[in-house]
């Protein structure tokens, strides 16, 4: 019985690992064909194929864990490992790179991690998604499959097995913060000018440990895994050796859990979530917070206090931001800020008694890996009604933020928290402010009230870049994934919802927008730009430190443009 269960979990892990990998590859690689219900890759006299479970017009195909090699007329079943190895050989033959071996290792590691997750969560998962109401943290920890268009969504090579079980959200464990007492001369804090809770870290220390710090020291919170890795950091070990940083050995009473983003942790008894730098490669990046990122979080807090920001929030009462108004770091003589020590706070409005259900969009779009259903089918929602309410209550605030206020929210699936009443979307919460940018319209509206808005600081974007980035996050990553989920879970055609999206955009185009360029891009461009996760990962690109984000983007066909052409010829 135990071996059968292992075989079943391995098959599921390989199915979803192959699905995320192949879907990411097909958005960047044209040398394939779909034939006899298989996706086929050819090389000279040999072909590799994987069985196609369901074709998607938005690129979110469903695959089966059935892999084949055909040589001449001989077709044989091969393992997942052999399929990936030989597929990468085909890619490497035509696209010379040094990263293939590393990516192969990460794909297999990701698959092993997913198998462990699926085995661990099988007893509780189906009952959980069928609950009439999910808590915020339940929804965060239900994202078992990860990024649906990525070659290795569950890769965390730096984690040992115990680290996975304790610090990743899927295992639902709770842990305590690690505190240090830091000499004031090495303590760095920055915050929004509108943020009043300057001593939040001291209050949290007292709440957690029940005591106050010595006057010559300030309490500094660490993620416990990151604190252990900082033992290899020269600046931090020097501070510990000189007793400028004194580790606190007492265990705190507050219990924290990882959210779906892993490095952001949640405690229902705290006013804030904490987001840490982690010396860990997740998807495409080493997850060290960058100074420019966290400063932009403070900037968003100030932008929303400007006249333009207040007008936007007043016009969209169903929209909310989880602000990130303060961050800490250790400063050192050799470095202005030690990036590996950055920790920021994020507002935490959630509690078990919150009035609305708040579920991250990536959990809503995820299939139930055990039964092939998912949240949407478990709730028995009407697909067209759900999507119509999504357009009005979730998508619209992001589109209007760009069009009338010049604000660009990086709204991908994991940054969109959908507020639900009776399982239907009535509002949206945006999180992860670091990727927020502004158009020239926004800059002109707010430059006098928000001095940190600088035309040269990297997040005042021209139209070309703004359209590409917002189009990928908001439409390709989020809305197209939702369209596929509703179609597959609720028996509704993708084309029906694409036409609903098209009509929504046409209605927006015909309204009084100050800047209709993004809507025009979606309606009239034959291709859309998308982030190339496969080759980004293959080449070992750290996207967080890329000077030009569009260097890792490529063009894919725009299904909305096809609808516009059909309308024109009707």
Q: Is the dihedral of CA 145, 146, 151, 157 positive or negative?
A: negative
How do 319-321 and 424-430 pair as beta strands?
A: parallel
Say what the pLDDT of residue 99 is: 74
Please determine, for residue 449, whether its predicted confidence score (pLDDT) is greater than 90: yes
Please determine, for residue 539, whether its predicted confidence score (pLDDT) is greater than 90: no
Say what the pLDDT of residue 473 is: 98
* Burial letters 477-512, b for 16+ CB under 10 A, else e: bbbbbbbbbbbbbbebebeebbebbbebbbebeeee
pLDDT digits (tens, 9 = 90+) for 244-253: 999 999 999 9
pLDDT confidence bin for 568, thresholds 50/70/90: low
Options 3.30.310, 3.40.50, 2.60.120, 3.30.1490; CATH of 2-140 = 3.30.310
Residues 442-457: what's their mean pLDDT? 93
pLDDT digits (tens, 9 = 90+) for 196-222: 999 999 999 999 999 887 788 999 999
Say what the pLDDT of residue 3 is: 44
Say what the pLDDT of residue 88 is: 94
Q: Could you tell me where the beta strands, DSSP code E, fall in 382-526? A: 407-408, 416-421, 424-430, 437-438
Nearest Cα to Cα of residue 464 among 498, 434, 433, 440: 440
pLDDT digits (tens, 9 = 90+) for 305-347: 999 999 999 999 999 999 999 999 999 877 789 999 999 999 9
Number of Cβ within a 10 Å radius of residue 463: 14
Residues 544-559: what's their mean pLDDT? 89
Please determine, for residue 284, whether its predicted confidence score (pLDDT) is greater than 90: no
Q: Residue 304 has which token pair? A: 């929303």
Please determine, for residue 544, whether its predicted confidence score (pLDDT) is greater than 80: no
For tokens 């974007």, the residue is 461
Q: Residue 177 has which token pair? A: 């913060």
- Residues linked to residue 419 through DSSP beta bridges, in sequence order: 358, 427
How do 46-54 and 62-71 pair as beta strands?
A: antiparallel
- Chain centre distance of CA 246: 34
Q: Residue 354 has which token pair? A: 């919150």
Instruction: Give percent of the chain with pLDDT exceeding 90.
Output: 84
- Residues linked to residue 282 through DSSP beta bridges, in sequence order: 285
Q: Where do the domains of the chain lie?
A: 2-140, 161-295, 300-323+355-569
Residues 166-182: what's their mean pLDDT? 97
CA separation for the pair 233, 275 (Å, rounded): 20
Say what the pLDDT of residue 543 is: 78
Residues 338, 344, 347: CA angle, nearest 5 degrees: 180
Phi/psi at 195 (nearest 5 deg)? -95, 125
pLDDT digits (tens, 9 = 90+) for 481-493: 999 999 999 989 9
Please determine, for residue 166, whether its predicted confidence score (pLDDT) is greater than 90: yes
Q: Are 532 and 552 in contact (CB under 8 A)?
A: yes
Say what the pLDDT of residue 45 is: 83
Q: What is the average pLDDT score of the chain?
A: 93
Number of Cβ within a 10 Å radius of residue 128: 17
- Which helix (H) or strand (E) segment holds residue 386: the answer is helix 383-390
CA separation for the pair 32, 87 (Å, rounded): 11
Task: Kindly report the CATH class assigned to 300-323+355-569.
Answer: mainly alpha
Residues 295-304: what's their mean pLDDT? 97
DSSP letter assigned to residue 480: I
Residues 475, 478, 482: CA angle, nearest 5 degrees: 110
Write the CB contacts of 535 (distance below 8 Å, at least 6 apart in sequence): 28, 95, 552
Residues 492, 496, 497: CA angle, nearest 5 degrees: 90
DSSP letter assigned to residue 36: T
Phi/psi at 108 (nearest 5 deg)? -65, -40
Two domains, one topology: 2-140 and 300-323+355-569: no
Say what the pLDDT of residue 352 is: 54
Q: What is the DSSP string of 406-421?
A: -EE----GGGEEEEEE
Write the CB contacts of 506 (distance below 8 Å, at least 6 apart in sequence): 523
Instruction: Give percent of the chain with pLDDT exceeding 70.
Output: 96
pLDDT confidence bin for 175, thresholds 50/70/90: very high
pLDDT digits (tens, 9 = 90+) for 493-519: 999 999 999 999 999 999 989 999 999
Say what the pLDDT of residue 5 is: 47
Say what the pLDDT of residue 570 is: 44
From residue 360, how far is each of 277, 438, 542, 567 by CA, in Å? 22, 24, 25, 34
Q: Could you tell me where the beta strands, DSSP code E, fall in 269-406? A: 272-276, 281-282, 285-286, 319-321, 326-330, 343-347, 357-360
CA separation for the pair 103, 107 (Å, rounded): 6
Number of Cβ within a 10 Å radius of residue 176: 16
Q: Residue 195 has which token pair? A: 């943020």
Please determine, for residue 289, whether its predicted confidence score (pLDDT) is greater than 90: yes
Please determine, for residue 402, whether its predicted confidence score (pLDDT) is greater than 80: yes
Q: Which tops the pLDDT comparison, 562 or 518?
A: 518
Largest CA distance in the chain: 79
Q: Could you tell me where the beta strands, DSSP code E, fall in 424-570? A: 424-430, 437-438, 527-531, 553-557
pLDDT confidence bin for 44, thresholds 50/70/90: confident
Q: Are 224 and 176 in contact (CB under 8 A)?
A: yes
Q: Output the 3-class SS for 66-132.
A: EEEEEECCEEEEECHHHHHHHHHHHHHHHCCCCCHHHHHHHHHHHHHHHHHHHHHHHHHHHHHHCCC
Out of 67-76, 316-325, 433-442, 543-552, least confident range: 543-552
pLDDT digits (tens, 9 = 90+) for 63-120: 999 999 999 899 999 999 999 999 999 998 766 666 788 999 999 999 999 999 999 9
Q: Are 117 and 154 in contact (CB under 8 A)?
A: yes
Write the CB contacts of 401 (distance below 8 Å, at least 6 apart in sequence): 312, 316, 407, 408, 409
CA separation for the pair 89, 228 (Å, rounded): 38
């Amino acid at each position: 019985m135990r071996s059968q269960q292992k075989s079943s979990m391995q098959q599921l892990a390989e199915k979803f690992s192959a699905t995320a990998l192949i879907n990411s590859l097909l958005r960047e690689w044209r040398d394939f064909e779909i034939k006899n219900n298989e996706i086929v890759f050819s090389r000279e006299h040999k072909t590799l194929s994987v069985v196609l479970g369901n074709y998607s017009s938005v690129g979110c195909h469903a695959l089966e864990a059935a892999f084949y090699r055909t040589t001449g007329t001989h077709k044989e079943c091969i393992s997942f490992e052999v399929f990936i190895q030989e597929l990468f050989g085909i890619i490497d033959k035509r696209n010379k790179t040094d990263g293939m071996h590393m990516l192969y290792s990460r794909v297999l590691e990701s698959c092993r991690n997913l198998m462990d997750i699926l085995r661990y969560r099988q007893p509780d998962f189906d009952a959980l998604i069928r609950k009439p109401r999910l808590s915020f943290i339940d929804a965060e920890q239900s994202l078992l499959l990860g990024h649906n268009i990525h070659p290795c969504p569950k890769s965390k090579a730096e984690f040992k097995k115990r680290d996975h079980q304790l610090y990743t959200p899927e295992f639902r464990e709770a842990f305590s913060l690690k505190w240090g007492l830091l000499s004031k001369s090495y303590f760095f804090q920055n915050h929004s000018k509108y943020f009043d809770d300057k001593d939040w870290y001291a209050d949290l220390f007292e709440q957690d440990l029940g005591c106050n710090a010595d006057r010559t020291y300030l309490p500094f919170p660490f993620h416990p895994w990151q604190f252990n890795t900082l033992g290899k950091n020269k600046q931090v070990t020097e501070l510990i050796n000189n007793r400028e940083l004194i580790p606190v050995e007492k265990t705190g009473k507050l219990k924290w859990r990882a959210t779906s983003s892993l490095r952001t942790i949640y405690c229902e008894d705290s006013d804030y979530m904490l987001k840490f730098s982690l010396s860990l490669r997740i998807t495409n990046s080493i997850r060290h917070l960058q100074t420019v990122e966290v400063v932009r979080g403070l900037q968003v807090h100030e932008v929303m206090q400007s006249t333009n920001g207040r007008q936007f929030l007043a016009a969209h009462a169903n929209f909310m931001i989880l602000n990130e108004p303060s961050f800490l770091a250790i400063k050192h003589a050799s470095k202005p800020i030690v990036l590996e020590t950055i920790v920021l706070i994020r507002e935490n409005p959630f509690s078990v008694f919150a009035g609305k259900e708040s579920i991250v969009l990536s959990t809503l779009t995820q299939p139930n890996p055990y039964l092939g259903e998912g949240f949407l089918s478990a709730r028995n929602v009407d697909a067209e009604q759900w999507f119509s309410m999504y357009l009005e209550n979730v998508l619209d605030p992001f589109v209007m933020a760009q069009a009338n206020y010049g604000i660009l929210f990086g709204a991908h699936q994991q940054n969109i928290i959908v507020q639900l009443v009776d399982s239907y979307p009535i509002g949206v919460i945006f999180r992860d402010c670091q990727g927020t940018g502004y158009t020239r319209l926004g800059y002109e509206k707010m430059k006098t009230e928000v001095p940190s808005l600088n035309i040269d600081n990297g997040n005042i974007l021209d139209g070309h870049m703004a359209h590409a980035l917002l189009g990928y996050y908001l439409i390709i990553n989020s809305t197209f994934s939702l369209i596929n989920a509703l179609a597959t879970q609720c028996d509704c055609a993708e084309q029906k919802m694409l036409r609903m999206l098209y009509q929504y955009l046409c209605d927006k185009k015909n309204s009084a927008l100050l800047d209709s360029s993004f809507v025009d891009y979606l309606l009239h461009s034959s291709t859309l730009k998308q982030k190339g996760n496969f080759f980004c990962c293959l080449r070992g690109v750290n996207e967080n430190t890329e000077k030009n984000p569009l260097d890792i983007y490529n063009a894919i066909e725009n299904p909305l443009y096809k609808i516009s052409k059909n309308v024109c010829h009707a």
